[in-house]
């Protein structure tokens, strides 16, 4: 019998992680990527330049409408693309175009002790004028691989922008 609800009741606590994904939109016409400046009021990394992203949540998986059912297993296709498409629209007012390209993954432990599996992807910019989510971001910039170094970014964001640009440059050559 397939699951009727999403539950972590039977999960092993030492195997639970938040699933977080980030997206770096790449604009093909000028070879630039979008980064966003976090609001100074943010608790973590205030005022730093970041990428679009968010956490995968149970509500993202409609238990009544899986993509397919394999035996008793419910399958949900492309949950990270759907998450990132929604976050791109919410955080920056833009759309992205599949496919996602893998940039980097990290395992991090937040100050509150929660382990996080973070994966960063690149994707082509689709459409829309950048309109920032109020209260979360205060500025945006489309940057190339050199310009990104002029911005105080979180962690490896500058390197991830360069990886994204290099991938699409090779693909387009």
pTM of this structure: 0.92
Rounded-to-integer distance, Cα 172 and Cα 163, Å: 14
Domains of the chain by range and CATH? 16-172 (3.90.79.10)
H helices of the chain, in order, are 79-92, 157-172
Residue 173: per-residue pLDDT:
65
pLDDT confidence of residue 41: 87
pLDDT for res 172: 67
Task: From residue 42, give the alpha-carbon distance in Å to each of 36, 136, 137.
Answer: 13, 7, 9
pLDDT-above-70 percentage for the chain: 99
């Amino acid at each position: 019998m397939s699951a009727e609800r999403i539950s972590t009741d039977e999960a092993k606590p030492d195997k639970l992680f938040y699933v977080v994904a980030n997206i770096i939109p790449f604009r093909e016409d000028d070879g630039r990527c979008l980064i966003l400046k976090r609001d100074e009021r943010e608790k973590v990394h205030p005022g730093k330049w970041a990428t679009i992203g968010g956490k995968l949540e149970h509500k993202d998986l409609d238990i009544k409408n899986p993509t397919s059912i394999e035996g008793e297993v419910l399958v949900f296709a492309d949950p990270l693309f759907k998450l990132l498409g929604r976050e791109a629209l919410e955080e920056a007012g833009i759309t992205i175009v599949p496919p996602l390209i893998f940039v980097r993954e990290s395992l991090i432990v937040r100050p509150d002790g929660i382990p996080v599996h973070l994966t960063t992807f690149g994707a082509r910019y689709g459409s829309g004028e950048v309109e920032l989510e109020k209260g979360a971001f205060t500025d945006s910039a489309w940057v190339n691989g050199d310009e990104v170094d002029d911005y105080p970014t979180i962690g490896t964001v500058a390197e991830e922008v360069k990886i994204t640009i290099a991938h699409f440059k090779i693909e387009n050559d």
